[in-house]
Copies of this chain bind each other. A is one copy, B any other.
Amino acid sequence: MKKNLEIFSNSPTCPIRNVFDRFGDKWSVLVLMVLGTHGGLMRFGELKEVIDDITQKMLTVTLRTLEADGLVARKYYQEIPPRVEYQLTDLGKDLVPHIENLANWASKHVDQILRSRKRFEKKVASKD
């Protein structure tokens, strides 16, 4: 692999593989952006309400993964009924704007992309 492409290396610490692979799941980016947009602490149920088509299981799994990565902090209150609050860590706060950049790009160009996909479908279909 050429020098200036070493960032793409297959090493276990390859940044792209380690970081982008996480964003690849269905919910992480969404959760990060919701926490970023909201600004402060959010309870589990609050997140569940905003991202209303996520299942309880997947919200839990996603939050655990983000917590493991040090992007989200979890605070558990020993009360009945239990209360759990989530917020971005400093690392998370640092990351979110970069994700938002990409999200803004996505917003701006999603129509073009969707149109391109349609055109491509037709092109492929016409060759059958």
Contacts and interface: CB of A to CB of B under 8 A. Distances in A.
A70 B112 CA distance: 8
A69 B114 CA distance: 7
A10 B26 CA distance: 12
B16 A33 contact: yes
B112 A91 contact: yes
A84 interface: no
Interface string A44-62: 0000001111000000000
Contacts of A113: 18-19, 69-71, 91
A41 interface: no
A105 interface: yes
Interface of A: 1-2, 4-5, 7-8, 10, 13-16, 18-21, 23-26, 29-30, 33-34, 37, 50-53, 67-71, 91, 94-95, 98-99, 101-103, 105-107, 109-114, 116-117, 120-121
